Structures are given as C-alpha cells and as structure tokens.
Structure 1
Amino acid sequence: MHRLYGGFVFFSLCLLFLAPSCSGGNILVYPVDGSHWINMKIILEELHARGHNITVIRASNSWYIKEKSSLYSSINLEMEEAFEDFFDIFIAEQIKVQREGASLMTFLKLNRDFLSMLTQAHVLWCDVTKDVFENKTLAKQITDSKYDLVLTDPAIGGGLVLAKYFNLPVVLNIRWSPLGEGHLVLAPSPLSYIPVPGSGLTDKMDFFQRIKNMFFYGILKFQEIVLVGPIYDDICSKYIEGGCSIASLLQQADIWLFRSDFVFDFPRPTMPNVVYIGGFQCKPAEPLPADLEKFVQSSGEHGVIIMTLGTLVNALPKDVADEIATVFSKMPQKVIWRHKGDRPSTLGNNTLIVDWMPQKDLLGHPQVKVFVAHGGTNGVQEAIYHGVPVLGIPLFFDQYDNLLRLQERGAGKIIQLADLNSHTFEEGLKDLLHDSSYRQNIQRLSRLHKDQPISPMDQAIFWIEYVIQHKGARHLISEAYTMPWYSYHSLDVLLLLLAVLMVLLYFIYAVFRCLCCRRKRKTKTKQN
C-alpha cells in the first residue's frame, strides 16, 4: 500500500514539473456591466489565480464593476448617464400594453423607446472610447503598458474599436454583439433552419415560419444598417486608418469564447476560432448559510421553489407581484423569492423574501424542485448544470429564445407576460412539480453538459493563454470575410458559367442555322 502511495506521489510530481508553464500575461479588459460583468468576473478570477496581470476599463458610474479590486487595476472613464430605472419602467409599461390591449401606436412607441435606449448605450460607450483616444496621457499609458490582448464582451463594441486602434489581439467573451446573436456575423447561417433571435422559432420551421424568420432577419439588418452600424462607422472613420465597420471588427477577432453549447443551442454551422464555453461559470454547490439551510430543510418532502428575475429588474409591478405571492402562499413548498419592490400584501408564511440569494448553491441543493426565472443566459445554464426544471417568465432581450430551447427539450415551460396571472402561474408550477418528465429531461441535459473531456472554464483559459503565447490566432480566421458578397456566394462564377453556356448554345444554334440555310440553298439550286 505504501509502495502504491509512493508511486502515486512520484507520478503526480512528474506531472507537476513536466506541465508547461505559462508566464503571466498583461490583459486589458473592456467589459459590459450588469449580468455580463458577473460572468466576465469569473473568468478574471481564474486568470488572476494563474498569475496574469489584469486592467479593467470601467465607467465612473458602474453598477457592478468596482473601482478597487484585488483582481485587477482599473481605468476609470467618466460617464454621467445611467439606465438603472429604465428596465423597471419598461416592464411595467410592457405588461400594461400586453394586458390592456393598448393600441398599435402605443406598442410601437414602447419598442421604439427600447431600441432608442439600446442605441443610446452604444453612443455613450463610443463617446467614452473616443475620450480614450483623445486623452493623450491615457492613450500613451495604454501603449506603454504593452498589453498582450484585449478581452472584451462585444455586446458593446467599444472594446473592439480600442483593440483595433492599439493593434492588439482580441478575445471575445460573447453571445451577443451589436448586430445580434454572434453566429449571424461570423458563421454561415441558413435561415431555413437557423431561427433569428426574437422570432420565437425553433430549428424546425414550415414554409410560413421561414417567411417569419426572414422578416425578423430583415429587422436585424435594418438595425445594423440604420441604427447601430453608423454609430461605429463614425468612430472608425475618425480614428482607424482606412476606416472599418463593426462587422469587420467582429470577424477579425482572434478567438470567440462563445457562452453557449449544443446541449443548450440548436445545431448549426460554426467556425474554427469559436470555442464553446457554455456553463463555464457553473460550479458544484457550496453549503448554504445556516439560516437559509434551516429554512430549506424545514420544507420537508415538499421541497423548495426559488424565484429571481435577474440583475436588471428589481421587481414586477405590485398587482403582478401580489398575484404571484397569492399562488406561492397556497403551495405546500417553501419559497425563496428575490424581490426588491414593495412587500406583496398577499405574502404567505411559507415565502421568504430576500434582496440577494446564492443562486448556484440553491440550484444545487437537493431540496430545490423548481426555478422560476426570467431566462437570462447565466440562470438557464446554471439550471441545466444542476438539473432543475425552469418556469420561465421572459422579459426582454434573448430571454424568450433561451427559455424556448428549454421548453423545446421538455425541460421547462414559458409563461408570457401577457398571460401571467394567478391561474397560469399556479398551473405552470404544478406541471413542473408533478410531471416528472420535466426533471428527467433537464437532468439528462445536465449529464450531457458535464460529459466533456475539458471543462468550459479550462477551455476558456487555454485559448486566452494561447493568444498571449502566439500573439494572436490569425490562422483560424477565414478569408471569407474579405470577399465581396457576390464572390462569397460565387455569383460572379455562376454568371460567367451562364454566359459561357449561353455563348455555347448560341454557337450551336448558329452552326445548325448555317447548315440548314446551306441545305436550303442547295435544294433551291437543284430545283432551278
């Protein structure tokens, strides 16, 4: 036994000394605030643990990104405007429009305001990025720091412009770009079976659904050409030699760390520089705080329901919250509800209201039976990892599409805001609690997700260090992006072949016509 143990120790030491070492890199991070920062920070924690030096660009009024941290140093950029209250107001108005059947003009105005807010966010961050270029001291500081790469979340494209300006390799922590879902910019995306975000479609579409899919793709292109594209065209034409577009900057990125995988997403074409890290933020559950553990254990055989609507929305409107509280009060389960608004008047003794909850630790607790969530990427992936069925209440962005993927696989159920009331909510909860197929299906997804040779986090760190070591990954970037659209689709070749065929057919026709005419002349001569 001692001999075996000694051999194991010797083997472990050999692996330790033979493992390739990676000297710490110098990484500039251009993140996006809110829930996007939550998963970016998890990557930074791992990079910091491996000895990398990290600098984070943050807005002075950031919601979540602290100025001082043991993980990173920060570059603070002045920004006055914020959008903390916008989402709560938007949700209240959206529920009102959907429930009261408001006019088409009201609906269009609501969506116009939402698009206007998103456009304004791009404008603000482009202005902030311009300030970096105009501030000679700061620009020199960034140049002198000799960063190895820029790690950025391109939901806001400022990091891409900054990397191009300073000629630095780029690693994207991405699912969404200014032009929509990331794949639509990078990889072949046939609209016959790849649903456009917002369409509410799956990869199985009939003829009329494909028409709908094409329509939503047209909306995306409109946003790119009219709303978002010009914002980045302006800053690129001014500060990047020769100019560029936001699409070209995305396509030139060295590595895409894509926050999804094909356990969750529908199968589709991809590219060699896309690394799928869906669920990289997920970890085994840790013990709950003593008071929370006591509450969870008090649920007995009935278990616990947890509910949260993410980081951007503090609370639902009071009347909706009261209806939800009424349903919870009638359930035999205990409930933990992250809710920051007014305390619902119909709250039952079985419901615990909290400002914050250890979401991953609760999802990993065996007593938790159902997760009521808005459908953000982080929450959905954590539900898959821990195998907890989801009752989804999508609010905006990609949330409906995320939940649709779970529903399509029988691992969750969606209640639209327009249909949310005490009856539908109670019915949805009971379906997930009493129909065992939901839990069986999401636990199957969990097993598939975990059955990987390398963890998503290890893949993410490997490829970041790969770019540092090799000063980029240009060999993985397709030349397709440099081709004009007609060459990409081989329309010029097709036209040439058609022209050659037409000439050939005309030549054959001309020969036959000549032969026929000659024969007619001979016949005439004989008759004469």
Structure 2
Amino acid sequence: MGSLPGVFLLLLVASVSLPSSPGVDAGKILVFPVDGSHWVNMNLLIQSLHARGHEVTVVRTATSWYVKESAPHYRSITVTLPEAISIEEEDFFVTFLGKMLEIQKEGASLFGFVKFYWEMLPSLSMIHQQASLLGVKMLENKTLMQSLRDTQFDMVLLDPGLPVGVLVAHELKLPTVFNVRWITSGEGHFVVAPSPTSYVPTSGNAVSDKMNFGQRVKNTLHYFFNTIIDKFLVCPHYDRLVERYFGPDVNFYHLLQGADIWLMRVDFVFEFPRPTMPNIVYIGGFQCKPSEPLSSELEEFVQSSGEHGVILMSLGTLVKGLPVEITSEIAAAFAHLPQKVIWRHVGERPNNLGNNTLLVKWMPQNDLLGHPKVKAFVAHGGTNGIYESIFHGVPIVGMPLLFDQFENCLRLEARGAAKVMDVTKLTRQNFLEALQEVIHNPSYRNNMKRLSSLHLDKPMHPLETAIFWIEFVIRHKGAAHLRTESYKMSWYAYYSVDVVCFLIAILLMLTAIVVGSIRFLCLRLCRRRKTKKE
C-alpha cells in the first residue's frame, strides 16, 4: 500500500505530459520569467504546456543566467539591456550573502536593523530599475510589439517578482496568469487577499500565526515598513512607465492586482492558515515527483553507508557557498558522524573534510531525497527544497541564509519537522548536536511523514491543477468572474471608514435629538410647575 501514492502521482504527472485532448485547443502563451531558482519552477510549467500542444514564447534578456535562448519546448524573444539585471548575475548573491552574514553576526540590534536595510534597499531599487528597462525596450520597439500583436497570443504567464510583463500584457490587452509566491511588496497574498496582521505573518518577519502582543506590534510595523518600501522604492520605477505609455488613468498597482489567476506556489500543509480569494489556485509542490534510480556511482556510495544511512546538504541554486570558516566547521561536524554525507558544494574546499563526505557540484536532489537511506537534509530553506523534503518525508536541518528562507524554516520548525540553525553562530559542536537530534529523535521524521501524507492526499497533482487553470483562462479568455474589483476602491471605502463615519454622524444626530427633546420636555415641565405655584 505504501507505494500506491507514488504510482498514482506518477500517473497524474504523466497525464499532464500527454498531447492535447480533442477538447483542449492549443493556445499561444507569452511568458515573462524571473531568472535563477524561479526559472526552475517556470520551466517545468512551460515543458508541461508544450507537451499539451501549446506554443510557448519566453521573453528573456541577453544576459540571462538560466533562461537559454534555444530550447526544444519554447521559442524565445531576447531583449538586450544597457546593463544586466543584478539577479541575473550569479556573483550578486554571493556578494550579497557575505554582507548579510556580517550584519547578522551583530545580532538583532537597532544598528543591525538599520545596516541591513541600508544594504538591501538600494539593491532592491536597482533591480527593479533595471527590470523596468525591459519594459521600455519592448514598448518602444514598435516592430516587436506589432509582431506580438500579429502572433495573437491567448494569454501572458508571468512571475510577478519582476512584474514588467504586466505592462506588456496590458498593452496587448491579454489576460494574465501569475506563477507566484513573491511579488514587489513581499508575499503575494498581501496584494490580492485580506491579510490581518493579527495572525498572518508579514514578509520578512519570521513568526508563527500564534503571536503574542509584542509580536503583533512587530508584525504590524513590518507590514507598514514593507508597504512604504514598495510604494516609494519599487513601484515608482513601474509607475513612470505606466504614466508614460498608458496615461494618468491607469494605475500600476491595479494592473498588478488585476491578474485573472494567481497560481500560488503554496500548500497549507506548509503555510499557516489565512484568508484567500476565488482566483488564487494553490499549487505548492507542483515540481515534486517520485524519485528515479540514481547513477551507479552514486547508488554505490549511498549503499556503502550501511545501516547508518546518508545525509544530504545543498544551499540551492543562487548561492555558491558559505565562507570557508563556516564550511570548515560544518565539515568537521560531518566527519564525526557514522553516516555518509553528499554535499553539493561550489567554492573553496572546506578544511576538516572527513572520508565520509562526498563533495559534488550538482546532485539529483529529488531522486536522492526519495532514496530510503537518506536520514536528513541540511538545507537553506528554499521553497523547492522544502517541498521536495515534504513530498519524500525527509526531516530538515535548516540553515537559512537570505530572504524568505528564515520564514520557510520556521514554518517547518513550528510543525516539528525541522531543526533551525543560526549560521552566524554555527560551531562544529552545536551543528553536530542538531544533526544527531534530527537523525535519532523519531518525532522529526514522523512529523515530516505526516506532512507528506497530507500533502499527497489531493484529488489532482498540483502540476495538473496549474495546467488546468492556465487552459481555463485560454478557453474563456480570462477569469474576470473570479476576480474581485475591491482593489479599485479607495482606502476609506475599502475599510468602510465613510460608512462608519456616516453611521456615527446619524447616531450623534439621533442622540442630540433625543437629548434635546428630553431637555425641552423637562424645561416645559419645570415652567408649568412654576406657573402653578405662582
């Protein structure tokens, strides 16, 4: 019985890859991806859409890191920018990580907080300024835009982390589908769904949904701070384009909020419960699949671990590696374990490396996580690795480094499926203790197995769900009936401030009338009594 869910999921994934059925017309899809690990997710969607018979065109820059110009499952439009977008440069994240680790070492002080944002905000603004130039290059290129119109695309699929595709979709008058978790202001829900800060953790604030008073104050301040950053540092780059090409009657944020379908890379097995909307479709873990056999060399190494098993370690696609003083402490801890270790490591070779540790530049992460001998996964907390671990039921030793990784690791820790380490305070001793706890305490694996069971118990595989809703938008030329128009309301109307003021005014008026009437009657009564006495 234990193998049935895996077989069932394999059949579902295979069904997504079948040619188009007679009831589904092949569509033409324009795609605006974000480079790096985000492209891994988008590329999987594109492959599945291509297998269904859809024609996919991907917009990329000439300096794109992962998005190749030629591929069998899409054609590309390459736009040359004056300078590369920073996130398309691999060294950008290595440099940025170094700065962030230095700041984290100083602790949670006001000075550290200021220094963090002093480093981050200019980089954030620069990335969006560079990305907005892609919109300028495309909208100014009349030949290109006419070619896009003549192609008669059915929809635009985009990652709104860099939302320039929203502007092009508006110019082409096409429905939009977001492949999303992160957006200009942080987590995507905050743009499209009610998000009470009393129990919905704000982007950048690593807390659970059960907050005490102090945490709720901090959460609210984070929300306002994120809003200010978005309004004054990020959106102005796109606001200028909207005013330049569409006039003052069009609002960039309204274009962002007006997407037809939000394919949210979230599963509530992992995410904390929160309000949602009809046009949000949850596809968390859509990239997960049953493991395939390992290469003979890798399988031999894994089997050599005997009864002790194997530990995996990977820091994802965006970071070359940690500073050597940290990796050497990690290596020393690994060397004291009876388990074998497969460590995806690119960069300076760490000191203290044990004979039980295999360094590789790349590893089949999903296939290894699905191997029965794998005991734990040392991970930075990227979304892809998190969901693959949940899918295969492998507990995690979390080492968050950047961005949402702190929040991701906290969510698993809150469910008892992970142990989280502070990289800046990591020593061989505390890291070894964390590894031993996760390996030998059965609660971590049992809790992750429970999450895995919940995650797999779905009527459709998340990838199949994503493809269905993309084709739904193609068939119906949008999904406006699922989209609320509340984002077009003024803030005072949205929060019913005008209604409350109106009702308060009526209440005060009625109170004044009642008090005035009583006072008038009392005065008349007093006068009558006075007259009778006289």
Shared fold, TM over 0.5: yes
Q: 2:524 aligns with which of 497, 518, 522?
A: 518
Distance between the aligned counterparts of 1:246 and 1:184, measured in 2?
16
SS at match of 1:151: strand
State the alpha-carbon separation in 1 of the partners of residues 257 and 356 from structure 2. 51
1:483-505 deviation per Cα after TM superposition (whole angstroms, max 9, x unaligned): 11111122211111111111111
Of 116, 124, 132, 2:130 maps to: 124
Q: Does 1:376 align with 2:378?
A: no
Alpha-carbon contact 2:20-2:52 (below 8 Å) kept: no
Match of 2:29 in 1: 27
Q: Indicate how the Cα distance of structure 1 residues 229 and 361 shifts in structure 2: closer, same or farther if over 3 A, else same.
A: same
Contact 1:232 1:245 in 2 (8 A): no
Taking structure 1 as reference, are residues 258 and 106 closer, same or farther at Cα in structure 2, changes over 3 Å only?
closer
Is the 1:157–1:246 contact (alpha carbons within 8 Å) kept by the matching residues of 2? no
* 1:105 shift after superposition: 5.1
1:291 and 2:297 aligned: yes
Distance in structure 2 (CA, Å) of the matches to 1:284 and 1:301: 23
The more displaced of 94-103 and 434-443 is 94-103
2: CA distance, partners of 1:99 / 1:175: 29
| 8 Å Cα contact 1:233/1:244 also seen in 2 | no
The runs of 5 or more residues in structure 1 that have no matched partner are 1-15
Q: Which amino acid in the other structure matches residue 31 of structure 1?
A: P
Offset of residue 216 of structure 1: 0.8
Could you tell me how far 1:20 is from its partner in structure 2? 5.5
d(CA) in 2 for partners of 1:361 and 1:234?
46
Note closer, same or farther for the CA distance 1:424–1:114 as it changes in structure 2 (3 Å cut).
same
1:53-452 counterparts in 2 under 5 A?
53-79=55-81, 80-81=83-84, 82=86, 83-99=89-105, 108-452=114-458
SS in 2 for 1:32: coil
Aligned equivalents of 1:404, 1:249: Cα separation in 2? 33
Paired with 1:39 and 1:196, the residues of 2 have a C-alpha distance of: 24
Gaps of at least 5 residues in structure 2 are 1-17
2:59 aligned partner, one-letter code? I
Q: CA deviation at 1:255?
A: 0.3
Q: Label 1:207 to 1:102 Cα distance change in 2 as closer, same or farther (>3 A).
A: closer
- Compare 146-155 and 244-253 and name the one that shifted more: 244-253
Q: Deviations for 1:443-470, whole angstroms, at most 9, x for unmatched residues?
A: 1000100000111011100000000000
SS state at 1:125 partner: helix
Q: 1:222 to 1:201 in 2, by over 3 A?
A: same
Pairing partner for 1:506 from 508, 512, 517:
512
Given that 1:164 and 1:240 are in contact with CA atoms closer than 8 Å, whether structure 2 keeps it comes out as no
- The C-alpha deviation readout for 1:77-99, integer Å capped at 9, x for no partner, is 11332432122122223333433
Give TM-score, length-normalised by structure 2. Answer: 0.93
Contact 2:291 2:370 in 1 (8 A): yes
Question: Which shows bigger deviation, 244-253 or 504-513?
Answer: 244-253
Change (3 A) 1:400 1:246: farther
1:475 aligned onto 2:469: no
Q: Distance in 1 between matches of 2:107 and 2:245?
A: 48
CA distance in 2, matches of 1:523, 1:172: 78
| Cα distance in structure 1, aligned partners of 2:113 and 2:527 | 77
Superposed CA offset, 1:199-257 (max 9, x none): 11110011111111111112111111211121111111111244444431222100000
Distance 1:190 1:300 in 2: 50
SS of equivalent residue, structure 1 residue 492 = helix
RMSD: 1.8
Identity of aligned residues (%): 52
Deviation, structure 1 residue 113: 2.2
TM-score normalised per structure 1: 0.94
Counterpart-to-counterpart distance in 1, 2:342 and 2:250: 49
Structure 2 counterpart SS, 1:85: helix
Mean Cα displacement is larger for which, 226-235 or 244-253?
244-253
Give the 3-state SS of the residue equivalent to 2:348 in structure 1.
coil
Q: Which amino acid aligns with 1:377?
A: T
Quote how far apart the aligned CAs of 1:430 are: 0.6
Q: Equivalents in 1 of 2:481, 2:109: separation in Å?
A: 53
Corresponding letter in the other structure for 2:458: Q
Aligned residue pairs: how many? 513
SS at match of 1:370: strand
Closer/same/farther in 2, CA of residues 390 and 17 from structure 1, 3 Å limit: closer
Q: Contact 1:152–1:172 at 8 Å: present in 2 too?
A: yes
In structure 2, the partner of 1:495 is: 501
Amino acid at match of 1:112: W
Question: What is the letter of the counterpart of residue 366 of structure 1?
Answer: P
Alignment match, 1:13? none
Q: Secondary structure at the match of 1:391?
A: strand
Q: What's the secondary structure of 1:286's corresponding residue?
A: coil
Call closer, same or farther: CA 1:386–1:246 in 2, change over 3 Å: farther
- The separation in 2 between residues aligned to 1:102 and 1:428, in whole angstroms, is 23
**What is the CA–CA distance in structure 2 between the aligned matches of 1:358 and 1:17, rounded to whole Å?**
27
Task: Supply the AA of the counterpart residue of 1:204.
Answer: K
- Deviation sequence 1:431-453 (CA, Å, 0-9, x none): 11100100000010001000001
Cα deviations by residue, 1:118-168 (Å, 9 ceiling, x for unpaired): 221111111111110001111111111110000000011111111112111
For 1:451, give the aligned amino acid: D
Q: Distance in 2 between matches of 1:78 and 1:350?
A: 47
Q: C-alpha separation between the residues in 1 aligned to 2:519 and 2:152?
A: 75
User: 1:191 and 1:99, CA in 2 relative to 1: closer, same or farther beyond 3 A?
Assistant: closer
SS of the aligned residue for 1:282 comes to coil
SS in structure 2 at match of 1:403? helix
The structure-2 alpha-carbon separation of the partners of 1:246 and 1:443, relative to structure 1 and needing over 3 Å to count, comes to: farther
